[in-house]
Chain A
């Protein structure tokens, strides 16, 4: 009997050994995965009270963590000018997760990224609490504020970019929301705010600058012109510009905006741009063909999207088109749809001698002691059009502002080039108004998109969007 009792003891010992081995194995092998699980509310809740690093615009923190005297969470996230910066910063919410830069740089902001391992170890050894990294954005607070002010009461977006580097200087979407509402520790308030924002028909949480695509209208004529120049056309090349253009194999008859003529049955391409002649550009598009247009559009970033960190919507240039559809696409209609960011980058590449720079929002990450953790080097995506074509197109745009349809954006002492756009997307609705252009002296490209004007605004693209362009250009002068 004692013999078997000893065996039973061995079995019992083995069971306890299995329990101990299993929890040790769990700790070693399952632990990291469990801790990083997005379902792990413990970690989310714990981190919610951690001090996160600030997001900076210039020398001003636009988001920062502030210590509060609270039992649950020792820090709260403060959004300075929250609505103005919301499409950049995103929100940091206990209930609804994170978005935009708050999400993309979460590991760095909480100092849990691999590159911060040494800092964490040193802090632990020194008994300091670890501070998150500082995220330096490229945003110019003055330009951002100017764009925000100019867009008040209007739905739309403004993007400004330094075309020599791709650094985004302004990135505004209106109407907006206040991330502070979602980052609150008053969870009832957070849920109410979330519901209210999502139920609002004005869609304040939409990022109209980079995450929505709209028909670009006549601003797309810049792409068509670029394709024509690359194909050997010149500004003085004559184009048929009838008052009415029946489209092939279609019952649709294309007219010019306001059913007016373009100043002759046959005009130069430069004049066609200055009066934004639809029939002329439809003829250019049909002459070049769908493939040439698509090729040029894709060189500017269509069908591809921008920004590896916060990401953008992909602007669309359709495939498989007949002649009528190609004609409509050449004037930015049919299924052509672009983000305001995309159209700004078209102007930027033209102004930057044809080189399309990758737009970016974060210039560097710094440790709390201000040493640099990582830095964003400027990154040319490609030569979107030849330097020569770019130079010609830029001067055509300048001409357009000086003595053409873009004159609403003319500014004293500055060399401004630009192109207006009016996209009639529904005959019963107001059209979308666009203006994209550049300022040579401050080497910035600015895109303005107005989805809905304020009552009393001029109802043409230059009148609606031009003043916004000028306000931002003034702030960047």
Chain B
């Protein structure tokens, strides 16, 4: 038996983070410069401004993490900064000295980093949000409905997922993504016991009672409604997948993904047979050359990536401008064209690292809410990257989602930076050494031998006993949930 407090020797790894941040700064600014060098074009006289701004933002983010969440995962922030920096460099290249997308995006990035830093500091105890389950639900739902309202709702490229206020376009679903993840996490951490234990066992799987399937039914209908009314395949897929996955994590029951999968298949068949939009998407995916005019974007993206080959044309040497809306949906095709298969793979792997790191934070988290939150945010991020890059590269039918951190768009940038702030906070919470006055709530699940019985006895009572906390840590979480091993099981 080891005391939890032995974890005080956990290194913060801030030095590693700083080194990686600077490395990423070099790659992104290198891309910025190569665009000019490759084209024998003069480097803009104010080149120092984006350099200084980007270095300043990178270092500021690093310093805030260092102060507010010193034990946060050291790889998350550098990966995100590198992606964001590459995105800025690519937007600058796509501007070709004419557009101003990169300048706008730089301002959005600055705002997003500030908001993320504020979130990181303000959410020092993110668990306060756990109390507002239904408020969060309502807020999330309201955000999703916003684009359907008259006046502010905007129809772009056939999807009703934008709002416009004072000339700024915004995709509320991006914010809803976070709010609803909180709502799901809070709801499920409260109800997991009931969802988990009740039900009948068939084929070795505990199937939920019909009454308990109500939430998933509501989510299913909502997802369908988003698809039908907002014409947005991606968003509806994202929310439904997120909810099913969080149900599964909360209950450990494979019944939920099975039910979710069947419900999804039913919806897919229903929508495919009843509407033409999804049929068109599927046809464009399987046979883009059957209708060259309609599938121009996909085809040009394919041509671009094929032309990029293994190593790419080089920064500024391709013709990604031929792809319509390359700045947002199809920016990964631009990377494939100019940085090649290798470059696109590197970007996908950066996303994979971010996802794996957030799932790792979920594994390490010391309470249910945090686990659900971290795994939910990580998975929704993975799903989004999978759907959009898969769509662009013809692995899947195309859905209108943004490519996190690299595609143009303020709301997406803002939302994803906030997600990263939460993940940084969660990973800090998971890795930080246990302080005495926190010991009741904090159980390091990774520390296999720790049983902090004495500490528990000496510690003040949990501020929120209703939370399913477990005072012991055991190699398997089965032990965590076994009342026998728990002197004062919270809600066993």
Chain A residues close to B by CB (< 8 Å)? 1-9, 11-13, 15-16, 18-20, 22-24, 26-27, 30-31, 34-35, 37, 39-43, 45-46, 71
Chain A residues positioned under 8 Å from B426 (CB to CB): none
B308 CB to nearest chain A CB (Å): 9
Would A12 and B309 count as touching, CB distance under 8 A?
no
- Contacting residues, chain A, for B306 (C-beta < 8 A): 26-27, 30-31, 34-35, 40
How many A-B residue contacts, CB cutoff 8 Å? 123
Q: Which residue of A lies closest to B356 (CB)?
A: A9
Contact B252 A3 (CB under 8 A): yes
User: CB of B395 within 8 A of chain A?
Assistant: yes
Measured between alpha carbons, how far is A46 from B303 in the docked complex, in Å?
13
Check B359–A27 contact: CB distance below 8 A. Answer: no
Q: A23-B336, A26-B305, A27-B341 are in contact. Are A4 and B319 (CB under 8 A)?
A: no
B120 at the interface (CB under 8 A from A): no
Known A18-B395, A19-B389, A45-B319; judge A3-B477 contact (CB<8 A): yes
**What distance in Å separates the Cβ of B215 from its nearest Cβ neighbour in chain A?**
17
Interface centre among A1, A7, A12, A40 (most CB of B within 10 A): A1
Q: In the complex, which residue of chain A has the Cβ closest to the Cβ of B196?
A: A1
- Asked if B375 lies at the interface with its beta carbon under 8 angstroms from chain A, I say yes
Quote the shortest CB–CB distance from A368 to chain B (angstroms): 25
- Chain A contact residues: helix, strand, loop or mixed: helix
Within 8 A of A (CB), among B319-368: 319, 322, 336, 341, 344-345, 348-349, 351-352, 355-356, 359, 362-363, 368
Is the CB of B404 closer than 8 A to any CB of chain A? Answer: no
Contact flag A22-B395 (CB < 8 Å), given A8-B249, A42-B307 = yes
Closest 8 A/B residue pairs (Cβ)? A34-B306, A22-B395, A16-B352, A12-B382, A15-B386, A9-B359, A31-B306, A4-B249
Known: A4-B252, A12-B378, A13-B356. A27 touches B310 (CB 8 A): yes
Complex alpha-carbon distance, A230 and B478, angstroms: 104
- CB of A8 within 8 A of CB of B393, answer no
How long is the Cα–Cα vector from A2 to B361 in the complex, in angstroms? 11
15 A-B residue pairs with CB within 8 Å = A3-B252, A4-B252, A11-B245, A12-B378, A13-B356, A16-B355, A16-B386, A19-B393, A23-B348, A24-B341, A26-B305, A34-B303, A40-B303, A42-B303, A46-B307
Which A residues are in CB contact (< 8 Å) with B352?
12-13, 16
Known: A31-B309, A40-B307. A20 touches B345 (CB 8 A): yes
* A43-B307 contact given A5-B249, A16-B348, A19-B348, CB 8 Å threshold: yes
CB distance from A451 to the nearest CB of B (A): 39
A7 CB contacts on chain B under 8 angstroms: 248
Contacts of B299 in A (CB 8 A): 39
Q: Per-position contact with A for B276-299: 1 when CB-CB < 8 Å, else 0?
A: 000000000000010010000001
B425 at the interface (CB under 8 A from A): no
Given contacts A16-B355, A20-B348, A39-B299, contact A8 B245 (CB under 8 A): yes
**Could you tell me the distance in whole angstroms from the C-beta of B55 to the nearest C-beta in chain A?**
30
**Measured CA separation A178–B136 after assembly (Å):** 72
User: What distance in Å separates the Cβ of B306 from its nearest Cβ neighbour in chain A?
Assistant: 4
Q: A27 to chain B: which residues have CB within 8 Å?
A: 305-306, 309-310, 341
Contacts of B355 in A (CB 8 A): 12, 16
B249 touches A23 (CB 8 A): no
Chain A residue with minimal CB distance to B250?
A1
Chain B: which residue is nearest A26 at the CB level? B393
Q: How far is the CA of A4 from the CA of B310 in the complex (A)?
A: 37
List residues of chain B with CB within 8 A of the CB of A11.
245
A31 to B337, CA, bound (A): 12
CB proximity of A214 to chain B, nearest CB, Å: 38
B390 at the interface (CB under 8 A from A): yes
Q: Which of A1, A40, A41, A42 is close to B371, meaning CB atoms less than 8 Å apart?
A: A1
